[in-house]
């Protein structure tokens, strides 16, 4: 009994020691946190940073003296963001120890303040991620054309050239009346400024129904157009096809006229040529843009206003498909291109799109394989992985995309010579969407075009689509309000969607 009592007494002591340790540890943590908070204030920073006019230059800077009235604190710029907890506090500890040592052992009158204010020294103490933490939108309202060009160049070359925000904005945190705002050297590969590249003088003449390479006059941009012979096909799918949906029926016998279609989806090179050429001209009303679809003599059109932040989502520009633009913006691009080339460019009809995507085949895909074998859906996927060995040669989709768009050369062409007809980005059509659109026409129809509905047809699926949703017959549609939910502008943009990344478009050219 005595031995038992001693054991209980001993365990009781251990419990109190453990609880006491927890209390002491928690108290030390709280104390350390409070010390950290105290030494993160602007006043504590200025106790050590005694270089001349530090307080005055900071208060006169854009980070304090601005129209919004929002103050940016010292630690907001000079430490990694607080959401990067370890990086934030480890950098704080290193800088704190260095500052304290310098304060105790060095004479500030010996410092070369002019040198320390230069870019080569300043970049060491301004983490670029801190700039981006606050400035998520690189294209705010009111930005100049030069600003757009510079920010696009920065966005594409940040990692490759180790560019930093402070490279141009050295005076953002500390006002310097003698500082001249920096400019990026070189030109963006996205062709915003092609002054140093050879520009095409004229568009490519088309004298026969054959493939051609179009040149956009006044730019260095060109792209391939594929001659798609007209013909007959069965549009849609029946209930026998795996993953068939009701809006794909009834199957219709459709004849389409000959047309030219772009080999790839509209690229950033192409779209930024349009952007650079039209962004300063104001706004052409949507009703005028859509009315122009039936007109041979187009008026001049205006182009997009600056987008919400990085329009390519940081994935890369160049030959990657342009994304996040609205259907209206895509239509405007087509009309601008028509004006530049003297041809009739437009979005494909839904029938033209499916005819081109099938490439003369009648199977769910234009290549061999069954949707159930490629899809991640179904009971058997709990035990066996989906097949990818064939579909990945032709389609950028959920199983091979790395959750982002890819360049066209990542896939093979379909039988008509077209790339990325399935996957990569959803492609706008000129038809309005209706779930029963096929049933509203006769069983046999020529060049159908739906004009009734609230949303627009989109086809092909995107980079994160399951294989079931990149079948040739699969249909989808825009979700205009949903894709604009987080747009901060009032009224909301007519040019860019804020909440969808996998939307783009492909163009066709009429053959007379």
pLDDT digits (tens, 9 = 90+) for 491-501: 888 999 988 99
Q: Which long-range contacts (CB under 8 A, 24 or more apart) does 270-273 make?
A: 270/216, 270/221, 270/223, 270/322, 271/322, 271/325, 271/333, 272/152, 272/188, 272/190, 272/191, 272/192, 272/317, 272/322, 273/191, 273/194, 273/216, 273/219, 273/221
Residues in the chain: 512
DSSP 426: E
Closest of 355, 84, 98, 66 to residue 235, by C-alpha: 355
Neighbour count for residue 356 (Cβ, 10 Å): 26
**CA separation, residue 275 to residues 155, 330, 473 (Å):** 16, 11, 33
- Evaluate if residue 24 carries a pLDDT over 80: no
3-class DSSP state for residue 489? coil
3-class DSSP state for residue 446? strand
Q: What is the pLDDT of residues 262-287, one digit of tens each?
A: 999 999 999 989 988 887 544 555 56
Looking at per-residue confidence, does 160 or 429 come out higher? 429
CB 463 within 8 A of CB 252: no
DSSP 395: -
Q: What is the pLDDT of residues 416-452, one digit of tens each?
A: 999 999 999 999 999 999 999 999 999 999 999 999 9
pLDDT of residue 428: 98
Closest of 227, 216, 226 to residue 269, by C-alpha: 216
- The span from the CA of 161 to the CA of 113, in Å, is 28
Longest dimension (CA), the chain: 110
Q: Is the dihedral of CA 40, 41, 43, 45 positive or negative?
A: positive
Cβ neighbors of 238 (< 8 A, separation 6 or more) are: 244, 249, 251
- The span from the CA of 448 to the CA of 353, in Å, is 12
3-class DSSP state for residue 79? coil
**CA separation, residue 73 to residues 41, 242, 308 (Å):** 8, 58, 25
Neighbour-count burial of 55, counting CB atoms closer than 10 A to its CB (0-12 exposed, 13-18 middle, 19+ buried)? middle
Q: What is the pLDDT of residues 161-199, one digit of tens each?
A: 566 787 778 777 787 766 666 544 443 333 333 344 678
3-class DSSP state for residue 35? helix
Percent of the chain scoring above 70 in pLDDT: 78
């Amino acid at each position: 009994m005595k031995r038992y009592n001693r054991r209980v007494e001993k365990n009781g002591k251990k419990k109190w020691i453990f609880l006491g340790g927890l209390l002491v540890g928690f108290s030390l943590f709280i104390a350390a946190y409070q010390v950290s908070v105290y030494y993160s204030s602007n006043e504590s920073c200025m106790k050590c940073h005694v270089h001349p006019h530090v307080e005055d230059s900071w208060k006169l800077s854009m980070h304090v003296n601005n129209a919004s009235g929002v103050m940016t604190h010292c630690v907001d710029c000079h430490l990694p963001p607080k959401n990067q907890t370890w990086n934030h506090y480890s950098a704080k500890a290193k800088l704190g120890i260095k500052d304290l040592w310098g304060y105790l052992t060095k004479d500030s009158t010996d410092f070369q303040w002019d040198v320390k204010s230069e870019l080569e020294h300043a970049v060491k103490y301004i983490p670029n991620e801190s700039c981006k933490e606050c400035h998520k939108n690189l294209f705010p309202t009111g930005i100049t054309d030069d600003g757009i060009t510079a920010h696009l160049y920065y966005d594409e070359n940040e990692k490759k050239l180790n560019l930093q925000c402070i490279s141009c904005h050295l005076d953002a945190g500390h006002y310097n009346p003698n500082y001249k705002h920096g400019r990026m050297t070189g030109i963006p590969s996205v062709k915003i400024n092609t002054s140093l590249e050879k520009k095409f003088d004229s568009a490519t003449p088309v004298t026969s129904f054959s493939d051609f390479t179009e040149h956009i006059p006044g730019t260095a941009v060109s792209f391939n157009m594929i001659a798609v012979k007209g013909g007959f096909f069965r549009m849609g799918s029946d209930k026998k096809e795996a993953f068939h949906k009701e809006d794909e029926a009834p199957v219709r016998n459709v004849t389409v006229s000959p047309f030219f279609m772009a080999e790839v989806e509209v690229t950033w090179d192409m779209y930024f040529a349009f952007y650079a050429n039209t962004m300063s001209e104001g706004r052409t009303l949507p009703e005028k843009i859509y009315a122009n679809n039936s007109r041979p003599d187009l008026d001049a059109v205006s182009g997009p206003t600056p987008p919400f932040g990085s329009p390519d989502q940081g994935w890369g520009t160049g030959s990657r498909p342009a994304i996040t633009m609205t259907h209206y913006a895509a239509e405007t691009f087509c009309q601008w291109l028509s004006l530049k080339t003297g041809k009739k460019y437009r979005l494909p009809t839904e029938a033209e799109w499916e005819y081109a995507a099938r490439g003369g085949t009648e199977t769910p895909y234009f290549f061999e394989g069954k949707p159930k074998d490629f899809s991640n859906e179904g009971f058997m996927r709990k035990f066996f992985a989906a097949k990818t060995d064939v579909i990945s040669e032709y389609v950028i989709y959920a199983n091979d995309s790395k959750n982002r768009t890819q360049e066209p050369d990542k896939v093979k062409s379909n039988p008509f010579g077209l790339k990325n007809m399935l996957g990569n980005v959803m492609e706008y059509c000129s038809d309005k969407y209706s779930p029963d659109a096929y049933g509203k026409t006769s069983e046999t129809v020529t060049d159908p075009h739906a004009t009734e509905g609230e949303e627009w047809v989109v086809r092909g699926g995107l980079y994160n689509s399951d294989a079931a949703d990149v079948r040739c017959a699969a249909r989808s549609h825009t979700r205009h309000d949903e894709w604009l939910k987080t747009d901060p502008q009032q009224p909301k943009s007519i040019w860019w969607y804020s909440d969808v990344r996998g939307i783009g478009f492909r163009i066709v050219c009429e053959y007379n």
